[in-house]
Chains A and B, each alone.
Chain A
Amino acid sequence: MRLDQRLIAKMITPGTRVLDIGSGDGTLIDHLFRTRGCDARGIEIDMGEVTRSVAHGLPVVHGDADHDLAHYPDDSFDYIVLQRTLQAVERPREVLRQMLRIGRYAIVSFPNFGHWEMRLKLLLGGRMPNTAVWHTPWYATPNIHPCTIRDFLALCDEDGYRVHEWMAIDEEGDRAPWRRSIRLANLFGEQALFRLGKGR
């Protein structure tokens, strides 16, 4: 399991109801069910992944964050997880709003566009940066709404979400997560992970 998924799993209380948006091959929901006794379900846009997940006995629905969250009733889950997808949805602000309507907590991870390598490549090369995390050329990228950690915090502030936990982590995942300073995290964190709740 990827490091960010392990960190997400640690944020989730055993025995709770979890909806994983963009559940991929179902690794996280399988882990949550088997090791934490969660009622974990998934939404996934890639039909091949959905079929594989369901064929492994995991409850996954074909759908996407932009269009299908509206059907879920208020407060039907404890946690709504969105892994590395916020930057690729059509309306990230609306997706966050839906997540916190459906669930008590929203757990969001996204690649940090404020990472020093991005800044440096754009500054020195004058072209869209290409890194291990942001590896698709500008014309082919699914990431239509890239943001930095500080951008994300500003949105949470504007929309009145409370940040219960946050951390910046490296893509490879060996080094300790950045925790102390938002400014440093924004510069050195390749990925960010947040647990949000309603209200400040």
Chain B
Amino acid sequence: MDQTVIPSAVEHTRAVFPEGLALDCGTVLAPVEIAYRTYGALSPERNNAILICHALTGDQYVAETQPVTGKPGWWGRMVGPGKPIDTDKFFVICSNVLGGCMGSTGPRSLRTVTAGNGESREEPWGTDFPPITIRDMVRAQRLLVKQFGIDRLFAVVGGSMGGMQVLEWAATYPDMVFAAVPIATAPFHSAQNIAFNEVSRQAIFADPDWHGGRYWETDAIPARGLGVARMMAHITYLSEEALTRKFGRRVRRCDEPTTGGNTPGALSTFGEIFEVESYLRHQGSSFVRRFDANSYLTITRAMDWMDLGMEHDGDCAGPFRETRTRFCVICFSSDWLFPTSQSRIIVQALTRAAANVSFVEIESDKGHDAFLLDEPDFDRTIQGFLSGAAEHAGLFRQTSKGL
């Protein structure tokens, strides 16, 4: 696999918070930097802001070219002028999560360490980066939102891990969230979710270039481990139907070595590999160019720890008592990583808390990734829910010049 180290020359737009952030683990992380992008214009009343929360390996470049990969934004289909999340009406904010590697403070950020001889130098946090939670990510986003002078977000929207952040937003800062759209997500990671994440993590640890997490010292990155982690995770994002439709059992010629570059392609005896293998290898190798292994470990751990009911004797309704937020829970019929049953747990908890909740399961055979792909019913649901919520919030009653 390609071992190109992520170009550090890319400058991300950032907000700096010198006072830092008190984390759930008890550590105060200071300073904290949050990289973000915005789209559209904030209304003079500052009431039209939508925060979009990205998934595990997503980033703040939601609706524009990602500067590292050169690929289009991950939700460009959804966010933009005239699109379901309409930037002609709404001010969209998307930030790179705390612990991420696209400009926000994370394991790859530099810190000052003092050696035994009293000399201080700068080095990445690496595995010493404090453990963070989904709520810590949300706290960091709140600092950013407050910096824009926004007291209440019109909506918080996100899928997968982004959906977990949406739930934490509504639970932790109910007065700051008018509407919440958790998509293809869960109130806690199931044992199966944790198991998949653990396999990913073990793949990274097993890489000879891991070096106890201090891989920067050797000018290498645990590319094979990280690539395998991504390949495994990617399978969980798709469905059997989607894989079959896309690849079936088709084979193709393979002229390249099939493993990390050191071992020849032992399994491609006939000079051919399955299309699906080739696809996963491509997914794995392109991932290591844009993502940091320590970030991957930090963030998957944060997802595993997420549990909305933890402080309420396991009752996920606990955090939502008295909530006035309008919820729209969306899931996809073929998603087996965050299945419909998990969304139903959210809906039932919200119902027990007498919250105003809409719940739609979108018929799709594309698996968990469906929230990133073209699903017209999904787009209509988001657009309709947001416009209904905007009506209830009293937005756009008069045509404001700013909109």
> Chain A interface (Cβ within 8 Å of chain B)?
39, 41, 47, 50-51, 53-63, 68, 71-73, 76
Contacts and interface: CB of A to CB of B under 8 A. Distances in A.
A73 B356 CA distance: 13
Interface in B347-384: 347-348, 351-354, 356-363, 377, 380-381, 383-384
A56 B388 contact: yes
A56 B391 CA distance: 11
Given A50-B360, A62-B359, A72-B354, A55 B328 contact: no
A50 B354 CA distance: 19
A51 B384 CA distance: 9
A54 B352 contact: no
Contact of B356 (A41, A57, A72): A41
Given A59-B326, A60-B358, A72-B354, A47 B363 contact: yes
B385 interface: yes
Given A50-B359, A55-B385, 20 more contacts: A39-B356, A50-B360, A51-B360, A51-B362, A54-B381, A54-B385, A55-B377, A56-B388, A57-B385, A57-B387, A59-B356, A59-B357, A59-B358, A61-B357, A62-B361, A63-B347, A68-B351, A71-B352, A72-B354, A73-B353
A56 B389 CA distance: 10
Interface string B281-325: 000000000000000000000000000000000000000000000
Contact of A55 (B348, B352, B384): B384
Nearest 4 A/B pairs, CB to CB:
A57-B388, A55-B384, A55-B380, A71-B351
Contacts of A50: 359-360
A71 B348 contact: yes
A65 to B, nearest CB: 14
Nearest to B359: A61
Contacts of B348: 68, 71
B383 A55 contact: yes
B361 A76 contact: no
A41 B358 CA distance: 9
A37 to B, nearest CB: 12
Most A-side CB within 10 Å, residue of B383, B388, B391: B388
Contacts, number: 65
Interface residues of B, number: 26
A184 to B, nearest CB: 41
B352 A47 contact: no
Contact of B389 (A41, A51, A57, A68): A57
B380 A51 contact: yes
Contact of B351 (A53, A56, A72): A72
Given A54-B328, A59-B358, A72 B384 contact: no
22 contacts: A41-B356, A50-B360, A54-B358, A54-B381, A54-B385, A54-B388, A55-B380, A56-B388, A57-B388, A57-B389, A57-B391, A58-B388, A59-B356, A59-B388, A61-B359, A62-B360, A68-B351, A71-B348, A71-B352, A72-B351, A72-B354, A73-B353
B340 to A, nearest CB: 9
Contacts of A57: 384-385, 387-389, 391
A68 B350 CA distance: 12
A173 to B, nearest CB: 29
A51 B333 CA distance: 13
A150 to B, nearest CB: 35
B384 A56 contact: yes
Given A54-B328, A73-B354, A63 B359 contact: yes
Nearest to B327: A59
Nearest to B391: A57
Nearest to B352: A71
Contacts of B391: 57
B203 to A, nearest CB: 37
A76 B326 contact: no
A79 to B, nearest CB: 15
A72 B377 CA distance: 28
A102 to B, nearest CB: 10
A163 B298 CA distance: 60
B385 A47 contact: no
